[in-house]
């Protein structure tokens, strides 16, 4: 649960820990670079124009994080108390 909100994942190519940012822009914060990498959800990939970082991240997971953070989980959650 909290993993989704924290947005931390390990890039399988570099083995380094990265962070998914969704606000205000969707992007991946990665080590040794001040820029956010562009995420291509359809390709399960992210790429940074500033440093050339080319990484992999699950597009489905990215969408889960976006959904979780945008707080629209009430739409599909069936919490009938
Ligand atoms: Zn970079």
Domain that holds residue 58: 2-70
Q: Residue 50: inside a domain, yes or no? A: yes
pLDDT in tens, 22-55: 988 999 999 999 999 999 999 999 999 999 999 9
Q: Residue 78: inside a domain, yes or no? A: no
How many folded domains does the chain comprise? 1
Judging by DSSP bridges, how do beta strands 54-56 and 36-40 pair with one another?
unpaired
> What's the distance, CA 58 to chain centroid?
8
Q: Residue 55: inside a domain, yes or no? A: yes
Most confident of 2-16, 41-55, 64-78: 41-55
How many angstroms is it from 18 CA to the middle of ligand 1?
11
Q: Residue 45: inside a domain, yes or no? A: yes
Query: What pLDDT does residue 8 have?
Result: 95
Residue 39's CB is within 10 A of a number of other CB atoms, namely: 23
pLDDT value at 75 more than 60: no
Which has more pLDDT, 20 or 23?
20
Q: Give the integer Cα–Cα distance in Å for 47 and 13.
A: 12
Q: Residue 46: inside a domain, yes or no? A: yes
How many angstroms is it from 74 CA to the middle of ligand 1?
35
Q: Residue 75: inside a domain, yes or no? A: no
How many angstroms is it from 13 CA to the middle of ligand 1?
14
How many angstroms is it from 64 CA to the middle of ligand 1?
23
């Amino acid at each position: 649960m909290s993993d989704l909100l924290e947005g931390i994942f390990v890039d399988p190519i570099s083995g380094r820990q990265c962070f998914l940012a969704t606000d205000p822009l969707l992007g991946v914060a990665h080590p040794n670079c001040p820029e956010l990498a562009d995420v291509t959800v359809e390709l399960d990939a992210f790429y940074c124009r500033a440093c050339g970082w080319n990484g992999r991240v699950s597009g489905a997971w990215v969408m889960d994080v976006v959904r979780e953070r945008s707080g629209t989980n009430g739409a599909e959650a069936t919490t009938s108390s």
